[in-house]
């Protein structure tokens, strides 16, 4: 047993597990911002007056939600970067990190959009009617009256999206970003005898990140709930 532990400890000193987790956390952070912005725009489009905007928003959600994330990431690297030769910086590590963030944002924006839309559905029609009655047009009404309430109602699904995003950063290896799942594979292939310990380390890492997010969103959704 103690030998197992020392084998495992030597493996940990050889590979930068914390560093790899840090990459996943950074990916989560930037992609959360990206998908929140893009998702809000999409949600706005889906409730906006012009039918064409609503259609585009709906098409985006349907298309992206039904495509595996891996394929989206591979297309960004193989198609956009390699064939269209669009580069953000000459530094490969940074360049692919940005691509991974874009891919994760594109994918999760569809879910953010649906989350916000479900939040909009919790806002009673009277709120919109009141906004209209005091002379607000669509954009001010959406910005001042609907969205603030919708976001509060959307906290639980948004939290779920954030959790899914955190876990999905493990797919970023498809965009040439070295993160924890790729490192875990290398570690196990190098030292298959300590496979359980390696797996538990990675799994617990995610539990530690994900469960507080879950608790926080539950707490927030209760605290911020619009009492009706």
Partner 1 sequence: MKYGKSMTLAALAATTALTLTACGGNDDGGGGESSGGDGESVRIGIKYDQPGLGFKDGEEYTGFDVDVAKYVAKELGYSEDQIEWVESPSANRENMLSNDQVDMIFATYSITDKRKESVAFAGPYFVAGQDLLVSQDNTDIKGPEDLEGKNLCSVTGSTSAQKIKDQYAGTVNLVEQGGYADCVTILGSGGVDAVTTDDIILAGLAATDANSGKFKVVGNPFTEEKYGVGLPKDSDKCQAINDAITKMVEDGAWEEAVTKNTEGADYKYNEDLNPPTPDACA
Partner 2 sequence: MSTSVLFDVQGPRAKRVTMILNVVAVLVVAVLVWLVVQKLGEQGQLDAEKWTALFTERTWSNFFIPGLLDTLRAATLAVVGSVIFGLIFGLGRLSSVWILRAVSTVVVEFFRAVPVLVMMIFFYLGLARTGLIQPSNTPFWAVVIALILYNGSVIAELVRSGVYQLPKGQREAGLAVGLTPSQALRSILLPQALTAMLPSLVSQFVVILKDTALGYIITYPELLASARRLGSGDGNILQTLLLAAVVFMIINSALTFLAGRLSRLLSYRTSGKTRPLHEAAAGDETG
Question: What residue ranges bind partner 1 (CB under 8 A)?
Answer: 74, 77-78, 81-83, 85, 90-92, 96, 173-174, 176, 178, 182, 185-186, 189
| Exposure class string for 153-189: b at 16+ Cβ within 10 A, else e | bbbbbbbebbbebbebbbbbbbbbbbbbbbbbeebbe
**Rounded distance between C-alpha atoms, residue 49 and residue 182, angstroms:** 46
Reference 69, options 197, 173, 195; nearest CA is: 173
For partner 2, the closer of residues 40 and 122 by Cβ is 122
- State the binding partner of 167 from partner 2, partner 1, none, CB within 5 to 8 A by kind: partner 2
**Rounded distance between C-alpha atoms, residue 216 and residue 221, angstroms:** 8
For partner 2, the closer of residues 105 and 161 by Cβ is 161
Q: Nearest distance from residue 223's CB to partner 2, in Å?
A: 18
- CB contact set of 221 (below 8 Å; sequence gap of 6+): 152, 155, 156, 159
- Residue 183 tokens read as 């490192």
Q: Nearest distance from residue 26's CB to partner 1, in Å?
A: 18
- State the binding partner of 176 from partner 1, partner 2, none, CB within 5 to 8 A by kind: partner 1
Q: Nearest distance from residue 159's CB to partner 2, in Å?
A: 8
Q: Nearest distance from residue 58's CB to partner 2, in Å?
A: 12
Q: Nearest distance from residue 220's CB to partner 2, in Å?
A: 15
- State the binding partner of 178 from partner 1, partner 2, none, CB within 5 to 8 A by kind: partner 1
Q: What are the Cα distances from residue 83, in Å, to 31, 73, 87, 106, 128?
A: 24, 14, 11, 19, 47
For partner 1, the closer of residues 122 and 181 by Cβ is 181
């Amino acid at each position: 047993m103690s030998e197992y532990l020392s084998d495992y400890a030597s493996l940990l000193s050889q590979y930068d597990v914390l560093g790899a987790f840090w990459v996943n956390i950074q990916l989560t952070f930037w992609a959360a911002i990206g998908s929140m912005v893009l998702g809000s725009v999409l949600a706005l489009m889906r409730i906006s007056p012009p039918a064409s905007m609503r259609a585009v928003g709906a098409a985006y959600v349907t298309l992206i939600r039904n495509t595996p994330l891996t394929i989206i990431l591979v297309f960004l690297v193989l198609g956009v970067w390699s064939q269209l030769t669009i580069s953000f910086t000459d530094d490969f590590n940074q360049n692919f990190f940005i691509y991974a963030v874009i891919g994760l944002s594109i994918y999760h924006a569809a879910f953010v959009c649906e989350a916000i839309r479900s939040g909009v559905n919790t806002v009673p029609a009277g709120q919109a009617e009141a906004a209209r009655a005091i002379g607000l047009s669509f954009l001010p009404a959406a910005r001042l009256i609907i969205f603030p309430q919708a976001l509060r109602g959307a906290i639980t699904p948004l939290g779920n999206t954030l959790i899914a995003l955190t876990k999905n950063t493990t797919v970023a290896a498809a965009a040439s970003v070295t993160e924890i799942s790729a490192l875990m594979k290398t570690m196990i292939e190098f030292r298959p005898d300590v496979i359980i310990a390696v797996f538990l380390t990675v799994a617990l890492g995610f539990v530690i990140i994900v469960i507080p997010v879950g608790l926080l969103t539950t707490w927030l959704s209760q605290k911020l709930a619009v009492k009706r």
